[in-house]
Amino acid sequence: MKKAWFLAVTACWMAAGLLPAQDYLVRERAKGLRDQNNARQGVPNPPSPPLPVAPGQAASAPAPPNPPSGISPAAQQNISTLQLDLAALTAKPPQPKPPLANHLLSAVLTPTKPSRDSVIQLAIDLEPALAGRELSEPNQTRLARDLNAILNCGALPEETIQKVIADAQAVLQDGGAKHSDATSVAEDLKAIAAKVKKAAAK
């Protein structure tokens, strides 16, 4: 009688798929004991198999690496420094003035360099254009890149130079700078670009 009952229950378990589940639990417990023994002996555990993907669901791909920016580490460091200077000039309440002129001069990495006076004039005109303005961090970085590009524009086409200068002026005006202040900065950039291109042509 008991044997017949056991066979009947076993048949029900098999029909419901419970026995394979019990077998899975036994195997998982055995794996756990194996991993514990390996840990005691200093043996690394084998990698876990990938999780199954549900039907109709694509497996998640690894995140792609950051694309190269085409900017040298030194230039990127200069851009970051200029961005911090711009952030300080736009800060509310005002922060101590950064050595913007020195940082602009240090950002020149090409053999053809602008004159020191033209760079100092740019720093002077940037201060009123930026003081207390609403310049977002992305726009600070954008302007810093524009400044860096003009300071090192010896190999840039004239069309690109004009676009960079126009972008710098647009960033300043979008941030609330007076049109006259933004125009002064644009004129400074044009003067620097002209000097750099003239030196590069020699």
Cα 168 to Cα 165: distance, rounded to the nearest angstrom: 5
pLDDT in tens, 175-198: 999 999 999 999 999 999 999 998
Q: What is the pLDDT of residues 6-62, one digit of tens each?
A: 444 344 444 434 344 445 444 556 666 666 655 555 444 555 554 444 444 433 333
And the tokens for 181? 């202040």
Query: Is 0.75 topped by the overall pTM?
Result: no
Cα distance between residue 77 and residue 55, in whole Å: 48
